[in-house]
């Protein structure tokens, strides 16, 4: 089967991302290292741009999937907007060269300071997730003498049929305002002089492999938009969130065009700008985590390949029991194939990156954990005082260090040893 990363290939036994050998990346930058393909990101973005070329549209990259400044800069150059969930992410977008007026701000707990920051920067829209947040944004905008552009994130109560931790549009989820309450909230917002009602938003979950739930959510949202319009509340954009899934193992996600087809057929020639907030589908299969086998442990019941990456670098397997393909960087004819669990050095039984993989390995071998471009680095931590990995962007035969590897000194910098007089 082909690799899920479209720009990954094997030539003369060696894995290459675009035109760069992963062996060379490990030799130059060390391991563990996240390696991203610029071409794969551009191609993923182009798939959205092409599918949406017939309608007024905007793609707002979901920053939380991979918030490296170089990645954000790449999407900004392609004309993307951004979906953010914190003031920190807004600062990243601006530092990367993104435009504030193409930023939508989601999240259930925006602080007063974050709201002020976003108002001062002049973002495109706040996606409001509760009645309390409506009051908070109106009060802050009014105090600052500004008008806040707002949308409500509605919860359409459809089941996205994905992992429960990444379902967000069910009644029981913390996200969005209840669909039946939304109409009244829009009337309230329209009466507030410090607010400008600008759009509507909805995001039902992540790693979606079926176009039906999104089309169903869109149907509900469009019905509400029409009712609001009858009431004299006209919206300028309709944001249907992110969520399109990718292939990690043997999934067969629809193409962007097939995913959006039912929805676009229903959308017709509406005048509102149709927005999406894809994260995973833009970057997930543009990245991998390059790691080195520290040692092999052959046991009675199990064989372990202990590698220099761990759950602090890539949390998804420990968190969601997620699958990442584990591919040796060099093929090795002489080693025996054994069934391995690929584990990190962290003191947790949950510290595994892949389980029960048949691989021919030797100490010091390099392994690429594929599909690690989304929710990899952004979910990483310093657990066990492990400096975070480096990030390298590949474009053709060029490489760019997008993040230096952390050092223990950089980790200790924010801490203070107990002074003798305390």
Ligand X SMILES: *Cc1c(COP(=O)(O)O)cnc(C)c1O
The catalytic residue positions are 347
Toward ligand X, which CB reaches closer, 29 or 61?
Answer: 61
Assess 58 for contact with ligand X (CB under 6 A): no
Minimum CB–partner distance for residue 201 and ligand X (Å): 7
Binding span for ligand X by CB under 6 A among 215-223, 241-249, 255-263, 288-296: 241-249
Assess 280 for contact with ligand X (CB under 6 A): yes
Assess 373 for contact with ligand X (CB under 6 A): no
Per CB under 6 A, the list member of 42, 64, 247, 324 interacting with ligand X is 64
Assess 89 for contact with ligand X (CB under 6 A): no
Assess 129 for contact with ligand X (CB under 6 A): no
Toward ligand X, which CB reaches closer, 59 or 195?
Answer: 59
Which residues on neighbouring strands pair with residue 74, listed in sequence order?
none
Assess 279 for contact with ligand X (CB under 6 A): yes
Toward ligand X, which CB reaches closer, 60 or 402?
Answer: 60
HEC profile for the chain?
CCCCCCCEEEECCEEEECCEEHHHHHHHHCCCEEEEEHHHHHHHHHHHHHHCCCCCEEEEEEHHHCCCHHHHHHHHHCCCEEEECCHHHHHHHHHCCCCHHHEEECCCCCCHHHHHHHHHHCCCEEEECCHHHHHHHHHHHHHHCCCEEEEEEEECCCCCCCCHHHECCCCCCCCCEEHHHHHHHHHHHHHCCCEEEEEEECCCECCECCCHHHHHHHHHHHHHHHHHHHCCCCCCEEECCCCECCCCCCCCCCCHHHHHHHHHHHHCCCCCEEEECCCHHHHHHHEEEEEEEEEEEECCCCEEEEECCCCCCCCHHHHHCCCCCEEECECCCCCCEEEEEEECCCCCCCCEEEEEEEEECCCCCEEEECCCCCCCHHHCCCCCCCCCCEEEEEECCEEEEEECCCCHHHHHCCCCCCCCCC
Do residues 382 and 407 make contact, with C-beta atoms less than 8 angstroms apart?
A: no
The whole-angstrom separation of Cα 324 and Cα 327 is 9
Assess 83 for contact with ligand X (CB under 6 A): yes
Tokens of 46: 């182009």
Binding span for ligand X by CB under 6 A among 41-49, 59-67, 90-98, 376-384: 59-67
Minimum CB–partner distance for residue 368 and ligand X (Å): 21
Assess 312 for contact with ligand X (CB under 6 A): no
Per CB under 6 A, the list member of 17, 40, 63, 65 interacting with ligand X is 65
Toward ligand X, which CB reaches closer, 178 or 348?
Answer: 178
Assess 357 for contact with ligand X (CB under 6 A): no
Assess 237 for contact with ligand X (CB under 6 A): no
Assess 42 for contact with ligand X (CB under 6 A): no
Binding span for ligand X by CB under 6 A among 12-20, 273-281, 307-315, 376-384: 273-281
**In the window 179-208, what residues touch ligand X (CB under 6 A)?**
203, 206
Binding span for ligand X by CB under 6 A among 9-17, 66-74, 239-247, 352-360: 239-247
Per CB under 6 A, the list member of 32, 241, 287, 373 interacting with ligand X is 241
* Interface mask toward ligand X for 96-125; x: CB under 6 A: ----------x-------------------
Tokens of 292: 């080195």
Toward ligand X, which CB reaches closer, 243 or 344?
Answer: 243
Minimum CB–partner distance for residue 214 and ligand X (Å): 11
With a CB cutoff of 8 Å and minimum separation 6, the contacts of 281 are 44, 242, 244, 245, 246, 253, 256
Toward ligand X, which CB reaches closer, 218 or 306?
Answer: 218
Assess 130 for contact with ligand X (CB under 6 A): no
Assess 277 for contact with ligand X (CB under 6 A): yes
Minimum CB–partner distance for residue 24 and ligand X (Å): 30
Per CB under 6 A, the list member of 149, 278, 287, 344 interacting with ligand X is 278
Which residues on neighbouring strands pair with residue 398, listed in sequence order?
395
Toward ligand X, which CB reaches closer, 117 or 281?
Answer: 281
Q: Contact residues for ligand X (CB under 6 A)?
A: 62, 64-65, 83, 106, 203, 206, 241-243, 277-281, 374
């Amino acid at each position: 089967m082909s690799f899920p990363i479209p720009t990954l290939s094997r030539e003369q036994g060696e894995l290459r991302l675009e035109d760069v050998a992963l062996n060379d990346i490990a030799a130059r930058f060390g391991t563990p290292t996240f390696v991203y393909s610029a071409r794969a990101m551009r191609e993923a973005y182009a798939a959205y741009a092409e599918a949406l070329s017939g309608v007024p549209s905007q793609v707002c990259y979901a920053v939380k999937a991979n918030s490296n400044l170089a990645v954000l800069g790449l999407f900004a150059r392609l004309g993307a907007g951004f979906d953010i969930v914190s003031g920190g992410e807004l600062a990243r977008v601006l530092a990367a060269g993104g435009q504030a007026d193409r930023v939508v701000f989601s999240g259930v707990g925006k602080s007063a300071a974050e709201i002020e920051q976003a108002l001062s920067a002049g973002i495109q829209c706040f996606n409001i997730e509760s009645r309390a947040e409506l009051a908070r944004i109106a009060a802050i905008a009014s105090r600052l003498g500004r008008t806040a552009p707002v949308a409500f994130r509605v919860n359409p109560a459809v089941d996205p049929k994905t992992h429960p931790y990444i379902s967000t549009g069910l009644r029981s989820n913390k996200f969005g305002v209840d669909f039946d309450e939304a109409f009244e909230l829009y009337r309230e917002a329209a009466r507030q002089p410090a607010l400008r009602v600008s759009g509507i938003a909805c995001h039902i979950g992540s790693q979606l492999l079926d176009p039906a739930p999104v089309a169903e959510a869109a149907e509900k949202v469009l019905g509400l938009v029409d009712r609001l319009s009858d009431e004299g509340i006209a919206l300028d954009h309709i944001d249907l969130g992110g969520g399109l899934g990718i292939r990690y193992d043997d999934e067969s996600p629809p193409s962007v065009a097939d995913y959006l087809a039912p929805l676009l057929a229903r959308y017709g020639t509406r005048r509102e700008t149709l927005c999406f907030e894809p994260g995973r589908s833009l970057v997930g299969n543009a990245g991998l985590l390059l790691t080195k086998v520290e040692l092999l442990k052959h046991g009675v019941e199990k064989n372990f390949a202990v590698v220099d990456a761990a759950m602090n670098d890539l949390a998804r397997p420990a968190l969601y029991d997620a699958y990442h393909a584990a591919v040796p960087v060099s093929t090795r004819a002489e080693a025996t194939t054994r069934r391995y669990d690929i584990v990190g050095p962290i003191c947790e039984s949950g510290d595994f990156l892949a389980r029960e993989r048949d691989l021919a390995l030797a100490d010091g071998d390099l392994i690429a954990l594929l599909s690690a471009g989304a929710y990899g680095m952004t979910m990483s931590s310093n657990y066990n005082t492990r400096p975070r990995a480096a990030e390298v962007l590949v474009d053709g035969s060029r490489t760019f260090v997008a993040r230096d590897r952390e050092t223990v000194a950089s980790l200790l910098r924010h801490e203070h040893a107990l002074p003798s007089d305390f």
